[in-house]
Amino acid sequence: MTRRVLVARLDSLGDVLLAGPAVRAITAGRHGQPAQVWMLCGPQGAPAAALLPGVERVLTWASPWITDPAPAVTEEHLAALQGMVRECAPDEAVILTSFHQSALPLALLLRHAGVPRITGASVDYAGSLLDVRLRPGEDFPEDQPEAERALAIASAAGYALPAGDDGRLAVIPTADATALTGPSPFVAVHPGAAVPARTWPAEHYRRAVRLLADAGIRTVVTGGPGEAGLTALVAADRATDLGGRCTLPELAAVLERASVVITGNTGPAHLAAAVRTPVVSLFSPVVPAIRWAPYKIPVELLGDQQAPCRNTRARVCPVPGHPCLNEVTPADVVRATLALLRRDGEGAA
């Protein structure tokens, strides 16, 4: 009989994409019996969960301890989660978290909803909330890629990647994006980021696009619905502007066709990794690159990883002038792009 497993990852798009290998491990099942995975995500991450191979259904709930801005803790809000969990009726739950998050609030709610077996990582005593508890720093190292942390939690629950699965990020096959991008080859530039501390200046992106165009390299600029002004500024008259024009599956298709993606440490960097496209990563060290850099693809990592903002998890840069990224020049980005193009054997358009 197929087991149903509720896999929870309650935060952002990129975090959900990094959970993909763990989801595939759980879907493969154990003892020769595959599992059916339902995924519980926050509003930001839910669209990414719909792209993961092996996810049967996506449940969306805004967690009061992770979502920003946080919803109020009301009976109605908690009842909504209870109703979804009872509809799912999972045989077990696997809670995926980062080092700074606790699995215990969700474990309490899942236990109250009747989930009989729950696995998660917790530095705190879990009592009856977790049936399988991993102790970060003891059962696995914290300084490892997020995808491998998630796999370690899945492994503790009894799940492993099947033979032949290389553990890289992946999404379901994408559609043809030629109508959006025009002909290949091209470089994709995604200038937006969820928080200011991870943002390279728009004028720097604009100048990089101009330098790439001067070098004969065509660029496509992407951005979400609220970023059309930003992408128009960056693209100007030198690039194809797709700001606000792509759904998430369409964005995946655009990034898959690109020779290189230029972006910050934000969700589309992980989407590029999932479609196996090299990334020039303008990586702000507010979070550790060893955990959140694009996973298992060629990467040119730019930005001062030893800057004073290192590991602060700041949303707004605490250092005047934002030097960790602002001191990276457009010429630096072009050099990194050319290095990846040479490494991949691509020619300029």
CA 62 to CA 49: how far, in whole Å? 15
* Alpha carbons 213 and 219: distance in angstroms, whole number: 7
Cα–Cα distances (Å) from 70 to 26, 43, 121, in that order, read 30, 12, 23
User: In this structure, are 325 and 192 located in the same domain?
Assistant: yes
pLDDT of residue 344: 72
Is residue 347 pLDDT above 60, yes or no? no
Please tell me whether residues 19 and 147 are part of one structural domain.
yes
Output the pLDDT for position 345. 67
Mean pLDDT, rounded, for 226-255: 96
Q: 170 lies in a domain?
A: no
pLDDT at 259: 97
pLDDT > 70 fraction of the chain, expressed in percent and rounded: 99
Whether 139 and 31 share a structural domain:
yes
**pLDDT of 348 higher than 60:** no
The CATH number given to whatever domain includes residue 291 is: 3.40.50.2000
Rounded distance, CA 108 to CA 81, Å? 12
Give the rounded distance of the alpha carbon of 173 from its chain centre: 17
Residue 11, pLDDT > 50, answer yes
One domain, residues 116 and 185: no
Q: Cα–Cα distance between 32 and 30 in angstroms, integer? A: 5
Query: Do 66 and 137 share a structural domain?
Result: yes
332 falls within a domain: yes
- The last residue of one of the domains, among 156, 189, 210, is 156
Q: Kindly report the pTM of this predicted structure.
A: 0.95
Structural domain of 308: 178-343
The band of 31, judged by pLDDT with boundaries at 50, 70 and 90, is confident
Residue 166 lies in a domain: no
Reply yes or no on whether the pLDDT at 296 is more than 50. yes
Residue 135 falls inside a structural domain: yes
Distance between CA 55 and CA 36 in Å, rounded? 8
Q: Are residues 214 and 114 in the same domain?
A: no
Any domain includes 167: no
Residue 179: which pLDDT band, with cuts at 50, 70 and 90? very high
Question: Is 267 found in the same domain as 119?
Answer: no
Examine the pLDDT at 349 and tell me if it is beyond 70.
no
In a domain, 172, yes or no: no
Number of domains in the chain: 2
- 99 and 218, same domain (yes or no): no
State whether 84 and 185 are in the same domain: no
From 121, 156, 191, the end of a domain falls on 156
**236: confidence class by pLDDT, cuts 50, 70, 90:** very high
In this model, does residue 140 exceed pLDDT 80? yes
Token pair belonging to 12: 């952002």
Burial 42-66 (b: 16+ CB within 10 A, else e): bebbbbbbbbbebbebbbbbbbeeb
Boundary (domain end) residue, out of 126, 156, 186: 156
How does the average pLDDT of the chain come out, rounded? 95
The reported pLDDT for the residue numbered 2 is: 86
Residues 200, 319, single domain; the answer is yes
CA gap 109, 120 in Å, rounded: 14
Do the domain assignments include residue 169? Answer: no
**pLDDT average, residue stretch 245-273:** 97
User: Looking at residue 317, what is its pLDDT?
Assistant: 87
Confidence of residue 285 (pLDDT cuts 50, 70, 90): very high
pLDDT in tens, 182-218: 999 999 999 999 888 899 999 999 999 999 999 999 9
Mean pLDDT of 107-115: 98
Do 8 and 149 fall within a single domain? yes
Q: How many CB atoms lie within 10 A of CB 199?
A: 22
Does residue 54 form part of some domain?
A: yes
pLDDT tens digits along 66-94: 998 999 999 999 999 999 999 999 999 99
Same domain, 194 and 150: no
